[in-house]
Structure 1
Amino acid sequence: MNTLPIHFLNRIMIQNRLPWLTPLVGLLLLTLPVFCQKIKPPKRNTTVSIRGDQFYINGKPTFQGRSWNGYKIEGLLPNARLVQGIYDDRNSSTRPKWAYPDTKTWDADRNTDEFVAAMPVWKAHGLLAFTLNLQGGSPEGYSKDQPWINSMFNPNGSYDPFYSRRLHRILNKADELGMVVILGLFYFGQDQYLKNEAAVINAVDNTLDILADGDYRNVIIEINNECDIRYDHDILKPERVHELIQRVKNRKIRGHRFLVSTSFSGGKIPTENVVREADFLLLHGNGVKDPARITEMVQQTRALAGNRKVPIVFNEDDHFDFDKPANNFRSATIAYASWGFFDYRMKGEGLDDGYQSPPINWQISSPRKKAFFDYLKEITGGLP
């Protein structure tokens, strides 16, 4: 199935508006293994693990022996929020909003192609991980209403084969490069398209099936982005999201289980039930204007974990100021927490700006992107 040439079917369906092809192609992709010998997963290059409060890749701590200005970098997982790598829009009325300037049309395959092409450049600057979300994130950065439909999942929790094939392309390239994917499953602007709690659980199980089929070991899971913001399904809210964390933890695939957590909104500390169950703890720096608060958040989260050592990771923060002596990236790093860059296209900006607003230039194409990657390379020393 990994070699099935279906990109042309995708283009026919989307560009010629033939939605009736979706169930036919989906049925083909889902039933083909019944008639064909199952393809053995490829040998994988990259395995991520956790020991105490450190991340390891292939049995060695990340950035082994590295320090920066006297602060330990070894074991950290610097990252960026690049959630739109498999983006598409099933809503025909909003789809034209994402048209590329040169072609005047949106192209989901082109988006993924250009994402994959940029990955070695990010890695060379020291980016070891990125967040990719199966329901994306707001393509406007922040949105009150989100009428677009960007979800790998169908209403019953099954998945769209075109999305999953784009996902495989990114996961395969990350494995080849030695990069970690923080794979988010649900987003509060899109979870409403899953019809009920059973569909949410089905979506989790189907995601694990996809990862199992590819034998991926370079993926860690974020159940949902900011579980404390207006989710429709109770099992995705803070009081019960630990049930899905437990579900992922309880499943082993060829002796491997996926590391899993969930995130909370900017400036918030994880709840006790999540701290108890999660393999790593995710924080967001949105809205945190004082870098000292970043350090305080790390300290408060660490206190909740008590004697249990666990990595702390910011995987979303829209603050920059990398040229200033105090900034959120620096504050997280000196508190021994990994930090993640969140960049969206702001008012008046163009194609080269932002990593969350389609159409996206995935290269280091703006002063803001360059400032982050230069600072990242200074801190990490870069990566081969």
Structure 2
Amino acid sequence: MESSFKIGIVFLVLFIMGCNSKKTFQPTVNVSIKGEQFYINGDPTFKGRIWNGVSVEGLLPNSRMVQGIFDDLNPETVNKWKYPDTKEWEPDRNTNEFIMAMPDWRKHGLIAFTINFQGGSPEGYSSVQPWENNAFEPDGTLRTDFARRMEKIVEKADELGMVVILGIFYFGQDERLQDENAVKNAVGNVVEWIQNKAFTNVLIEVANECNNRKYDHDIIKQDRISELILQIKEKAPELIVSTSFNGNTIPPDDVVKVCDFVLIHGNGVHSPSRITEMVEEVRNLPSYHPMPVVFNEDDHFDFDHAENNFAAATKAYASWGYFDFRMKGEGFDEGYQSVPVNWSISSERKTAFFNKVKEIFID
């Protein structure tokens, strides 16, 4: 009887341990590049798809969703981001609602989004940024809570067949790193984190708009950003790496030469014809060789018009990324960058974008 009791206890303990243990992550999405096309698991994205006589096979429609792991570590500013219902800021709620919204994005044909370890301006655009939305300790160590939230998002993206454009630095927060060694440590720690988690659905954007004058650390700026790109390639040659530039800017040859794909921004580009020109100018660079051209930030809409930046980029065979923030006088349902965020397709502007994605890539 005593022996049976002991055996029962052992099985009970093993059962409880099994319930409490996290299942080991097994990646199902492997993103790669062949020429100008993105591939997922060996096939080009949207294989064989034609829209208005134009092939969209191999493109990567995306949206700027950089606040998915947002938190504010500055007690003097954290109350700016209170939810309208609970009257407090809740970082885990933010991430959980992001994850809940992802299946609907994917259903509409969105297969990629940009997220950043240092976020972006929670006001859309800001002249000063006193808040601290920053996944790194001053020495570049990755903060556990931020990494945990990012892990949940990347794993959900893998489950849904989505690609994550993973940003490391943002010009409103890089000053939180104490020196250049801390910057290098941060890069190394992100790469190690990706490798340890076995993520294969990630593209890296080393810095958001590396030519922005607000960056503090020279090594993140345009003239030296290639050093960080090469640091990643040396440590993890399997990773796909790039960096972005301010709106309406063509990247310089020394950066394009070391990138695996070209990231450009459409902010400030009010004419769709200029979007076409930008793509042509990139492809005419001496350093350019066949690789994808991707807009991963553009705050222009007009999706109901025959000509708009999204359509122009697509016709030029470049991937395009939506950037939407809460504009003056707008409420909680508007925008994907202003905090707190309603991550669902909750406004006319969001609906128009996602319907356009669906029209081009699904219907």
Q: Given the alignment of the two structures, is residue 365 of structure 1 paired with residue 349 of structure 2, yes or no?
A: no
Cα distance in 2 for partners of 1:263, 1:301 equals 13
Find the partner of 1:303 among 265, 284, 293: 284
Task: Report matched runs for 1:39-58 at 5 Å.
Answer: 41-58=24-41
Cα distance in 2 for partners of 1:305, 1:180 equals 29
Name the CA shift for 1:39/1:353 in 2 (closer, same or farther; >3 Å).
Answer: closer
Cα distance in 1 for partners of 2:207, 2:219 equals 11
Structure 2 residue aligned with 1:288: 269
Name the CA shift for 1:263/1:307 in 2 (closer, same or farther; >3 Å).
Answer: closer
Find the partner of 1:344 among 325, 347, 363: 325
Q: Given the alignment of the two structures, is residue 245 of structure 1 paired with residue 226 of structure 2, yes or no?
A: no
Cα distance in 1 for partners of 2:176, 2:361 equals 40
Amino acid at match of 1:103: T
Task: Report matched runs for 1:78-97 at 5 Å.
Answer: 78-97=61-80
Q: Given the alignment of the two structures, is residue 127 of structure 1 paired with residue 121 of structure 2, yes or no?
A: no
Cα distance in 2 for partners of 1:98, 1:184 equals 22
Cα distance in 2 for partners of 1:278, 1:169 equals 27
Cα distance in 1 for partners of 2:291, 2:267 equals 22
Cα distance in 1 for partners of 2:187, 2:239 equals 12
Structure 2 residue aligned with 1:233: 217
How far does the alpha carbon of each residue in 1:190-248 deviate from its partner, in whole angstroms, 9 at most, with x for none? 00000111000000010011111110000000000000012111110111101111111
How far does the alpha carbon of each residue in 1:126-146 deviate from its partner, in whole angstroms, 9 at most, with x for none? 001000000000001000000
SS in structure 2 opposite 1:316? coil
Cα distance in 2 for partners of 1:130, 1:232 equals 26
Structure 2 residue aligned with 1:317: 298
Aligned length: 342
Cα distance in 1 for partners of 2:57, 2:191 equals 29
Cα distance in 1 for partners of 2:343, 2:286 equals 36
Identical-residue share of aligned pairs (%): 58
Cα distance in 2 for partners of 1:168, 1:300 equals 37
Amino acid at match of 2:171: F
Cα distance in 2 for partners of 1:262, 1:221 equals 8
Find the partner of 1:208 among 188, 191, 200: 191
TM-score normalised by the chain length of structure 1: 0.87
Amino acid at match of 1:249: K
Question: Could you say what the CA RMSD is over the residues aligned between the two structures, in angstroms?
Answer: 1.3
How far does the alpha carbon of each residue in 1:98-118 deviate from its partner, in whole angstroms, 9 at most, with x for none? 000110000000000000000
Q: Which runs of 5+ in 1 are unaligned?
A: 1-37
Structure 1 residue aligned with 2:361: 380
The structure with more radius of gyration: 2
Q: Given the alignment of the two structures, is residue 353 of structure 1 paired with residue 339 of structure 2, yes or no?
A: no
Residue pair 1:41, 1:214 contacting (<8 A) in 2 also: no
TM-score normalised by the chain length of structure 2: 0.92
Q: Which runs of 5+ in 2 are unaligned?
A: 1-20
Cα distance in 1 for partners of 2:288, 2:148 equals 42
Structure 1 residue aligned with 2:12: none
Q: CA deviation at 1:42?
A: 2.2
Cα distance in 2 for partners of 1:95, 1:39 equals 32
Amino acid at match of 1:166: R
Amino acid at match of 2:230: Q
How far does the alpha carbon of each residue in 1:260-297 deviate from its partner, in whole angstroms, 9 at most, with x for none? 00000000000111110000000000000011000000
Residue pair 2:111, 2:163 contacting (<8 A) in 1 also: yes
Residue pair 1:180, 1:219 contacting (<8 A) in 2 also: yes
SS in structure 2 opposite 1:102? coil
Residue pair 1:41, 1:213 contacting (<8 A) in 2 also: no
Structure 1 residue aligned with 2:150: 167
Cα distance in 1 for partners of 2:110, 2:78 equals 31
Q: CA deviation at 1:306?
A: 5.7
Structure 2 residue aligned with 1:33: none
